[in-house]
């Protein structure tokens, strides 16, 4: 992907955010600050948080919301995203039968940035600290894009706090992305985001407009930093459900390699089903993954609710 091609990707991202923001418009009370009024209005139409606030973890005041009750699941958003932008369609469906914990990562949304680099390791430790703050011993974790990287690191660094792992459109090594995705990182710069819906959303949540450029630079730095957790990812003990789109940024071989390491790549009728799963959604891009939430939520729910004990081979 050259600079011109990458420039054509940004309108798709911005359009998604414009649609997501417009869907959030709804009845709002007269109480609270302006940026509090804009937080999760689309979610509140069908599900109200039972708890929300800030957790002090690792020098960060991390904004979080909790919905529903039951087996907890943590949702980790992608780069540039916030709780409502990433999860407004997802929370009401999952919260009907389980406790949903959503948070905004360092520098995103209402979680103000601190003097610390954006790294998957740091943010995974923040998630661990949030669960301790909420007195949640273990949880299922679902991460999208950047959040998927955080989810992998959470599984690697804090396995005792993880029950099952769902990875949406994410990788466990930098070369897991298609080459054009890696090339696109080289053409990203803060100037491209000036005046964009991302900047407008950033300002609307009470962030310092003067810090927007630094915020973008830190995200770009995290996106361009090489990483390889192949060995560690294959040794994750928890069951993993990896979901990508057929037109996503993730290489098919990358997802299949992990699935094979987790027991896949064999005929289930002959060898039994593995605990881990893989799905490649048709007609689905990286951004489209969230727009197709109605497709994968039933798959995720089945994965979370099923008995994943090894199944015997079929007998004839």
Which residues partner with 165 through β-bridges?
Answer: 141, 240
pLDDT for 316 equals 63
CATH number for the 3-22+67-98+137-305 domain, one of 3.30.70.1450, 3.40.50.1820, 1.10.1740.10, 3.30.1360.120? Answer: 3.40.50.1820
Which residues partner with 240 through β-bridges?
Answer: 165
Contacts of residue 72, defined as CB under 8 A and 6 or more positions apart, other chains included, come to 98, 99, 100, 101, 136, 138, 139, 140
What burial class does residue 113 get, using C-beta atoms within 10 Å of its C-beta: 0-12 exposed, 13-18 middle, 19+ buried? middle
Q: Are strands 60-67 and 139-144 parallel, antiparallel or unpaired?
A: unpaired
Is the dihedral angle over the CA atoms 230, 231, 232, 237 positive or is it negative? positive
99-125 tens-digit pLDDT: 999 999 999 999 999 999 999 999 999
Q: Give, rounded to a whole angstrom, the gap between the first and last alpha carbons of the chain.
A: 51
Q: What SS3 class is residue 282?
A: strand
Contacts of residue 204, defined as CB under 8 A and 6 or more positions apart, other chains included, come to 34, 35, 38
Distance CA 82, CA 253 (A): 30
Give the confidence band of 310 by pLDDT, cuts at 50, 70, 90: confident
pLDDT for 14 equals 57
12-68 tens-digit pLDDT: 555 555 555 444 433 333 334 444 444 443 444 457 999 999 999 999 999 999 999
């Amino acid at each position: 992907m050259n600079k011109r091609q990458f420039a054509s990707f940004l309108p798709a991202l911005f359009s998604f955010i414009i649609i997501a923001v417009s869907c959030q418009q709804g009845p709002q009370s007269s109480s609270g600050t302006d940026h509090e009024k804009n937080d999760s209005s689309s979610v509140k139409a069908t599900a109200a948080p039972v708890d929300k606030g800030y957790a002090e973890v690792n020098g960060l005041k991390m904004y979080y919301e909790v919905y529903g009750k039951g087996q907890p699941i943590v949702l980790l958003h992608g780069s540039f995203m916030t709780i409502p932008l990433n999860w407004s369609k997802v929370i009401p469906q999952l919260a009907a039968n389980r406790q949903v914990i959503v948070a905004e990562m360092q520098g995103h949304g209402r979680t103000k940035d601190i003097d610390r680099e954006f790294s998957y390791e740091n943010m995974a430790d923040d998630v661990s600290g949030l669960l301790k703050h909420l007195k949640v011993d273990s949880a299922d974790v679902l991460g999208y894009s950047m959040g998927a990287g955080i989810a992998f690191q959470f599984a690697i660094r804090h396995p005792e706090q993880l029950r099952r792992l769902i990875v949406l459109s994410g990788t466990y090594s930098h070369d897991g992305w298609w080459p054009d995705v890696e090339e696109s990182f080289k053409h990203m710069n803060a100037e491209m985001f000036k005046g964009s819906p991302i900047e407008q959303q950033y300002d609307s949540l009470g962030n310092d407009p003067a810090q927007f450029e630094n915020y973008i630079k830190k995200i770009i730095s995290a996106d361009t930093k090489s990483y390889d957790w192949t060995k560690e990812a294959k040794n994750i003990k928890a069951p993993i459900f990896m979901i990508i789109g057929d037109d996503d940024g993730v290489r098919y071989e990358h997802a299949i390699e992990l699935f094979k390491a987790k027991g896949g790549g064999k005929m289930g009728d002959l060898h039994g089903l593995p605990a881990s799963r893989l799905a490649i959604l048709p007609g689905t891009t990286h951004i489209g993954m969230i727009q197709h939430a109605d497709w994968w939520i039933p798959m995720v729910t089945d994965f979370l609710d099923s008995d994943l004990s090894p199944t015997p081979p079929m007998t004839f």
